[in-house]
């Protein structure tokens, strides 16, 4: 019984990490698609293919991680959402104000 209480947080931490990796793949792939897709001659195919691939990998990953346990699924989803926050902060375009500050020499 004590082993289960000790191992449960470690297992959920692993599920959280798996969710972060799935989210990084999904949202990183979305960022890549948005960068590559529009100038492409086959942009519709690029967007559709990317969506199907990202969804297939993510849903399969959630299924494999959860093993039918809702707590594992929640931990994986939390990691997925953390990855969304991290990726959107990492790839955020500079705002007009920060661009103006950089052009004025940091004043």
User: How high is the pLDDT of residue 9?
Assistant: 81
Structure tokens at 81: 């959402």
Helices 70-90 and 43-66: crossing angle in degrees, nearest 10, is: 140
Q: Say yes or no to pLDDT of 107 above 70.
A: no
Of 28, 13, 7, the closest CA to residue 87 belongs to 28
Is the pTM higher than 0.85? The answer reads no
User: How high is the pLDDT of residue 106?
Assistant: 53
User: How high is the pLDDT of residue 16?
Assistant: 94
User: How high is the pLDDT of residue 97?
Assistant: 59
User: How high is the pLDDT of residue 77?
Assistant: 96
> What average pLDDT score do residues 28-51 get?
89
User: How high is the pLDDT of residue 41?
Assistant: 85
What residues have CB less than 8 Å from 76, skipping those under 6 apart? 15, 16, 18, 19, 22, 61, 62, 65, 66
Asked if 86 and 21 touch (Cβ cutoff 8 Å), the reply is no
């Amino acid at each position: 019984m004590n082993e289960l209480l000790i191992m449960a947080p470690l297992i959920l931490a692993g599920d959280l990490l798996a969710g972060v990796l799935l989210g990084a793949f999904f949202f990183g792939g979305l960022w890549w698609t948005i960068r590559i897709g529009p100038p492409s001659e086959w942009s519709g195919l690029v967007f559709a293919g990317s969506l199907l691939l990202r969804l297939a990998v993510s849903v399969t990953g959630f299924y494999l991680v959860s093993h039918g346990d809702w707590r594992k699924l929640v931990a994986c989803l939390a990691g997925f959402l953390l990855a969304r926050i991290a990726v959107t902060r990492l790839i955020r375009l500079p705002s007009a104000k920060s661009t103006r500050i950089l052009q004025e020499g940091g004043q």
